């Protein structure tokens, strides 16, 4: 199962060591406040398999003042061309499914004026079946949308990218500086927010660039 931790839950050096098997840079939104974004999380995910570029990802997750999520993931190496479509579609499906994950985890409490009979717990199997049905619908929706090729601005310069858009959410893949970027979020926000590549550092912990 994929690990996902906020930088405050594990030593920063331990997280970075999992990602920086080779020197390089990672993506971040250049000026989050300009776009009303707040950095919520920075972490390394994946199991670190050397032969799978998608198994090691440096994630920066932002949230807008309106509650919209934008994520910038840096893969430690570009993906083989035959896997790019799967990576992009999986990212789009994951972004669309995020609210479902939150709903499944959220506890259900009894109304404040209800008799004290303990929490009103719905049947988990029924809730899980609803979740699976919703996930299938999301995946089918994303799979029906054709991928498009275009450009995405990184470090103030356009770079080639592959993208898919479904239900107003965009996921795109671009190769920059020997790494690969996967960016997901609302279409208008992804197209406007400027992404830059910088040395690995902890923004949340106030750490400067690493040599």
pLDDT, tens only, 40-52:
988 887 665 666 7
Average confidence score pLDDT of the chain = 79
CA dihedral of 33, 36, 41, 42, whole degrees rounded to 10 = -40
CA 97, CA 102: separation in Å to the nearest integer?
9
Neighbouring CB atoms inside 10 A of 28's CB total: 21
Q: Are the C-beta atoms of residues 189 and 70 closer than 8 Å to each other?
A: yes
Q: What's the pLDDT tens digit per position in 192-205?
A: 998 999 988 766 66
Q: What's the pLDDT tens digit per position in 67-84?
A: 999 999 999 889 999 999
Q: Are the C-beta atoms of residues 59 and 43 closer than 8 Å to each other?
A: yes
Q: Enter the tokens of residue 100.
A: 């479902």
Q: Is the pLDDT of residue 10 over 60?
A: no
Range 203-208 average pLDDT? 61
> Residues near 10 by Cβ (< 8 Å), separated by ≥ 6?
none
Q: Report the candidate in 79, 108, 50 with the shortest Cα–Cα distance to residue 179.
A: 79
Q: Report the candidate in 158, 207, 209, 192 with the shortest Cα–Cα distance to residue 30.
A: 192
Q: Is the pLDDT of residue 209 over 50?
A: no
Reported pTM: 0.77
Tell me phi and psi for residue 121, to 5 degrees: -95, 115
Q: Quick one: pLDDT at residue 132? A: 79
CA 117, CA 90: separation in Å to the nearest integer?
42
Instruction: Pick the more confident residue, 101 or 35.
Output: 35
Q: Are the C-beta atoms of residues 42 and 59 closer than 8 Å to each other?
A: yes
Q: Quick one: pLDDT at residue 200? A: 80
Q: Is the pLDDT of residue 161 over 70?
A: yes
Range 6-16 average pLDDT? 55
């Amino acid at each position: 199962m994929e690990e996902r931790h906020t930088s405050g839950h594990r030593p920063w050096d331990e997280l970075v060591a999992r990602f920086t098997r080779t020197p390089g840079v990672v993506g971040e939104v250049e000026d989050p406040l300009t776009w009303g974004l707040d950095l919520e999380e920075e972490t390394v995910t994946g199991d670190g398999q050397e032969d799978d570029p998608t198994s090691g990802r440096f994630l920066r997750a932002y949230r807008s003042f309106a509650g919209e999520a934008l994520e910038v993931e840096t893969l430690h190496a570009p993906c083989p061309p035959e896997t790019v479509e799967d990576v992009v579609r999986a990212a789009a499906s994951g972004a669309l499914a995020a609210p479902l994950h939150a709903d499944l985890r959220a506890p259900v409490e009894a109304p404040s004026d209800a008799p004290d009979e303990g929490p009103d717990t719905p049947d988990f199997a029924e809730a899980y079946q609803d979740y699976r049905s919703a996930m299938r619908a999301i995946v089918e929706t994303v799979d029906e949308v054709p991928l498009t090729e275009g450009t995405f601005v990184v470090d103030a310069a356009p770079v080639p990218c592959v993208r898919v858009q479904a239900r107003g959410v965009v996921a795109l893949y671009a190769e920059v500086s020997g790494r690969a970027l996967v960016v997901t979020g609302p279409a208008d926000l992804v197209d406007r927010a400027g992404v830059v590549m910088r040395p690995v550092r902890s923004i949340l912990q106030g750490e400067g660039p690493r040599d």
